[in-house]
Structure 1
Amino acid sequence: MTMRFSSPPSPTSLSRRALLGGAAAFGGATLLSGCIGTGPGTSAPPTGGPTGGPATLQIAFSEPKTRDALLETIKDYDGPAPTVNAVATEQFRAQLSTYLTSANPPDVIGWLAGSVARDYASKGLLLDVSDLWTGDGACAKYSESLRALCSDENGKQIFVPTSYYWWSIFHKKSAFQKWGITEPPKVWDDFIALCDDLKGRGVYPLTNGIGSTPWMASGWFDYLNLRVNGAQFHRDLLAGKFPFTDERVAAVLERYKQLIPYFDPNMRSYSVQEAVTPLVQDKAAMYLTGAFIVVSVPKDQVDDIDFFSVPTIDPAVPSAEEAPTDGYMGSAKAPNVDQAKKLMSFLASPDAQQKNIQLSGSANLPTSPDVDTSGFSPMVQKGIKLLNETKEITQFFNRDSSDALQLTADAALTKFLDDPSDIKGTLEDWQKAAERVFKQ
């Protein structure tokens, strides 16, 4: 296996009922046992053709441990050892279009499920992998709801998932105990009161990393929109059905504005991983992030990490959680189609998923219904329970919209966090930028 690295820098969303429908059970944990993506044109014949040579795999990684776990897992692949090109996530994001449109693209690309995959599929850039969903194919046992989530407008599947994870407010149990916090807040007013109390103790209530990873500012936007306006409005907003100047979006930023005094002021210099440091040092109390962040926690503190859901703002709004799904897509022009599909099938296999999750030390959940999750950590079991009990599931801002729209969110929200005094002006600028994206 040839490996090339670059150093990292310092869906459609479905209701819970739809996701659970038709899923094979493994202890009630098969919430997202399936694939994601869509778009027409994916059946265009590849220019390369089915050859027996080794496949090329292009992956992103946020820190070396996740990369190394995948590379170790791939050693079990029984085909020609693939060439693996690994680059840091932000570099990967910027180059993804180039990978897919090049004359000699990677055979397989590891990336995000949702609208980004759907957009590339609509341009005829993704390989039709429908055969992996039939007979004894790697995805044949996955739920019908997730088959639909993985299908283009013509009913063809174009994405193979291997893991998913949840977002929540993470904290240290020992720190909460030290500060006399016996129960996490369940409603917004109690959450704000907790932030006031922590700030009075000289602790930053919230950490975040919006420096080299400005998309992290969207985490709070997503959740506040879900809590104030609900999942359907959130989806419709990101699909361009409502303008960002809508008064309901202004209401979201008013809530967001409440949080600004509680953030660690160094968040503008932290990346998503670096924002963990003040949390583990008890300098910051809470971090709204994905469960992937566990791999950035020192090993001796992992068991001390716990989480709770973003508190309710309006009890009339159904509960919703973000549960992004990751996996692999093949290039429509893949030079080695047979090996591309074989490699994706291996990566989607129960053994590969189990090994990769265990080696990475992540809190990710497997998408295969045949993975035994009984030995997973109590925190992961709690994450499964959270997602099983929520009413709605979304992905994340760019996964429910596009990478191009994510850039408009990055600009608008980081500007807002620097100067929250002009919400109307911020939203007007955001809408102008969004209109340019939707016209493309």
Structure 2
Amino acid sequence: MTAMELSRRRFMLGAASLGSIPLLASCVGTGGGEAGGGQASATITLQSSIQDTAPKAALEEIVAAYRGAGAPVTLNAVATEQFRAQLSTYLSSATPPDVLTWYAGSVANSYAAEGLLMDVSDLWTGDGACARFSEALKSLSTSADGKAIFVPTSYYWWSVFYKKSAFASWGVEPPTTWDGFIALCDQLKARGIHPLTNGIGSTAWMASGWFDYLNLRINGADYHRALLAGQRSFTDPEVVAVLQEYARLIPYFHPNQTSWDSQQAVTPMVNNEAAMYLVGAFVTQYFPEDQRDDLDFFSVPPINPAVPTAEEAPTDGFFASARSDNPEGAKALLSYLASPQAQQDYITKAGSSNLPTSPDVDTSGFSPLVQKGIQLLNSTQEITQFFNRDSSDALQTTADAALTRFIADPTDIPAHLRDWQAAAQQVFSS
């Protein structure tokens, strides 16, 4: 959703610019043609939904450098909501754009199932541009039939954020088990501290953060994706178990969570009245500058040890049209955009909250917090997105309504889930 995506991109990494765009020849992996050679020399079109001022300018600079290295490319910037509405039309057109910005998840997979996305598996093998990316990113970028259909170029992490000085003053440490997490919440509450904060007023989607993580920790990423794809029901016993665990957390939240938005929810943490916040890394921008170095995080502890580790990491990048007249040129551009130097330059110039997907990006200038986030995402077994990215904006609306009602009155979980499933069925049948 637009407000969420805009807020996420305003967090500054604080890294200095780390070098220039690489020469074209160094960016093309196997399968991606070389500029000036055969079909790849034809002009290709990059359709972009990026509208925030700094990221848009950063992409323009990167594309200009690519063009200057001898590869003709046209960049078309389209308003985000217009892009979203017309994406299907772009891809099904007889003369589609060659490469398009978007994000990994259910939307990309659904277009792949329709045969509208180019198979870029050769970029993920040998010396391809994505060959050294993590297995979790590879899995995220692979369609149901086993083809790579997406090139991820940036992402960011969700975790439980806290202030190191506050934990030290309270004499507590980050928990490593779910029982330890519950015990920590009990200990803090007994001392008059609100263990958790959130902002689900005008940003009701924030309630989905805890739903996603509890589902990932109890049922695993495969079940979570299947549920959000309409292959399972919100009335399943597995979802009942998720809301039962969620209900345990409700007494720990600051009572003002229903009137705050995601930014206002940091206020009790700033004042040491609340301890922890499950949120994306964009949260750092909401804290006073003199408190940002005090922030740290830990992953939501495991609940069911049998399920693989998983982290929410909304991932942006590019895919190519299967109907492109210039597939080698499209792959060459994708390889360039995925290269370590292009990623690094985009992040630093855009002031983005996102992290590089390439393990070869020089992160030495990034803050310790950001480096810890990179380590978290590189080590997890599974990467999911966020509720709306793993499903759709329409299904996110059903989650907003269902979880808001549930948090207000968690006494009748089956009724809430029946209503949620009925709303979800309308989305999937439309």
Once the 2 structures are TM-superposed, how far is the Cα of residue 162 of structure 1 from its aligned partner? 0.5
- Contact in 1 for aligned 2:116/2:321 (Cα 8 Å): yes
Select the residue among 113, 120, 136 that pairs with 2:104: 113
Which 10-residue stretch deviates more, 328-337 or 358-367?
A: 328-337
Aligned to 1:160: 151
Question: Aligned AA for 1:185?
Answer: P
Aligned to 1:82: 75
2:419 counterpart of 1:429? yes
- Residues 1:248 and 1:152: Cα distance change in structure 2 (over 3 Å): closer
Aligned mates of 2:285, 2:240 — CA distance in 1: 35
Select the residue among 315, 322, 327 that pairs with 2:317: 327
Question: Aligned AA for 2:171?
Answer: I
Once the 2 structures are TM-superposed, how far is the Cα of residue 142 of structure 1 from its aligned partner? 4.5
Once the 2 structures are TM-superposed, how far is the Cα of residue 435 of structure 1 from its aligned partner? 2.7
2:351 counterpart of 1:358? no
- Residues 1:392 and 1:158: Cα distance change in structure 2 (over 3 Å): closer
- Residues 1:233 and 1:197: Cα distance change in structure 2 (over 3 Å): same
Question: Aligned AA for 2:283?
Answer: I
Select the residue among 162, 166, 171 that pairs with 1:171: 162
Once the 2 structures are TM-superposed, how far is the Cα of residue 256 of structure 1 from its aligned partner? 0.9
Aligned to 1:204: 194
2:290 counterpart of 1:300? yes
Select the residue among 382, 399, 407 that pairs with 2:397: 407
After TM superposition, the structure 1 = structure 2 runs for residues 188-203 of structure 1, keeping only pairs within 5 Å, are 188-199=178-189, 201-203=191-193
Aligned mates of 1:144, 1:189 — CA distance in 2: 30
Which 10-residue stretch deviates more, 327-336 or 118-127?
A: 327-336
Aligned to 1:33: none
- Residues 1:336 and 1:230: Cα distance change in structure 2 (over 3 Å): closer
2:93 counterpart of 1:100? no
After TM superposition, the structure 1 = structure 2 runs for residues 180-259 of structure 1, keeping only pairs within 5 Å, are 180-199=170-189, 201-259=191-249
- Contact in 2 for aligned 1:59/1:109 (Cα 8 Å): no
Residue 358 of structure 2 aligns to a residue whose secondary structure is: coil
- Contact in 2 for aligned 1:164/1:324 (Cα 8 Å): yes
Q: Structure 2 unaligned runs (5+)?
A: 8-39
- Residues 1:333 and 1:430: Cα distance change in structure 2 (over 3 Å): same
Once the 2 structures are TM-superposed, how far is the Cα of residue 159 of structure 1 from its aligned partner? 1.6
- Normalised to the residue count of structure 2, the TM-score between the two structures is 0.74
Aligned to 2:272: 282
2:379 counterpart of 1:386? no
Residue 195 of structure 2 aligns to a residue whose secondary structure is: strand
Aligned mates of 1:212, 1:128 — CA distance in 2: 40
- Contact in 1 for aligned 2:310/2:384 (Cα 8 Å): yes
Once the 2 structures are TM-superposed, how far is the Cα of residue 148 of structure 1 from its aligned partner? 5.8
- Residues 1:417 and 1:106: Cα distance change in structure 2 (over 3 Å): farther
Residue 214 of structure 2 aligns to a residue whose secondary structure is: helix
After TM superposition, the structure 1 = structure 2 runs for residues 263-278 of structure 1, keeping only pairs within 5 Å, are 263-278=253-268
Between the two proteins, what is the percent identity of the paired residues? 61
Aligned to 1:21: none
Aligned mates of 1:333, 1:298 — CA distance in 2: 49
Once the 2 structures are TM-superposed, how far is the Cα of residue 175 of structure 1 from its aligned partner? 2.2
Aligned to 2:386: 396
Aligned to 2:337: 347
Question: Aligned AA for 1:434?
Answer: A
- Contact in 2 for aligned 1:54/1:336 (Cα 8 Å): no
CA offset digits 1:153-189 (Å, max 9, x no partner): 56554321112333210111122223x1331123334
- Residues 1:116 and 1:267: Cα distance change in structure 2 (over 3 Å): farther
Question: Aligned AA for 2:385?
Answer: Q
- Normalised to the residue count of structure 1, the TM-score between the two structures is 0.72
Which 10-residue stretch deviates more, 252-261 or 385-394?
A: 385-394
Once the 2 structures are TM-superposed, how far is the Cα of residue 409 of structure 1 from its aligned partner? 2.0
Residue 162 of structure 1 aligns to a residue whose secondary structure is: strand
Aligned mates of 2:182, 2:335 — CA distance in 1: 47
Q: Structure 1 unaligned runs (5+)?
A: 11-48
Residue 386 of structure 1 aligns to a residue whose secondary structure is: helix
Once the 2 structures are TM-superposed, how far is the Cα of residue 85 of structure 1 from its aligned partner? 4.2
Which 10-residue stretch deviates more, 155-164 or 421-430?
A: 155-164
Residue 282 of structure 1 aligns to a residue whose secondary structure is: coil
- Contact in 2 for aligned 1:55/1:336 (Cα 8 Å): no
Which 10-residue stretch deviates more, 370-379 or 242-251?
A: 370-379
Question: Aligned AA for 1:96?
Answer: R
Residue 347 of structure 2 aligns to a residue whose secondary structure is: helix
Question: Aligned AA for 2:43?
Answer: G
- Contact in 1 for aligned 2:218/2:303 (Cα 8 Å): yes
Residue 251 of structure 1 aligns to a residue whose secondary structure is: helix
Aligned to 2:361: 371
- Contact in 1 for aligned 2:137/2:152 (Cα 8 Å): no
Aligned mates of 1:232, 1:7 — CA distance in 2: 25
Cα RMSD of the aligned pairs, angstroms, is 4.0
- Residues 1:360 and 1:289: Cα distance change in structure 2 (over 3 Å): farther
Aligned to 1:418: 408
Once the 2 structures are TM-superposed, how far is the Cα of residue 344 of structure 1 from its aligned partner? 3.9
The structure where helix makes up a greater share of residues is 2
- Residues 1:426 and 1:154: Cα distance change in structure 2 (over 3 Å): closer
CA offset digits 1:351-391 (Å, max 9, x no partner): 12112333455564322233233444322333344345545
- Residues 1:70 and 1:416: Cα distance change in structure 2 (over 3 Å): farther
Aligned mates of 1:385, 1:107 — CA distance in 2: 33
- Contact in 2 for aligned 1:119/1:402 (Cα 8 Å): no
Question: Aligned AA for 1:158?
Answer: I
Number of residues of Structure 1 aligned to a counterpart in Structure 2:
390
- Residues 1:309 and 1:105: Cα distance change in structure 2 (over 3 Å): same
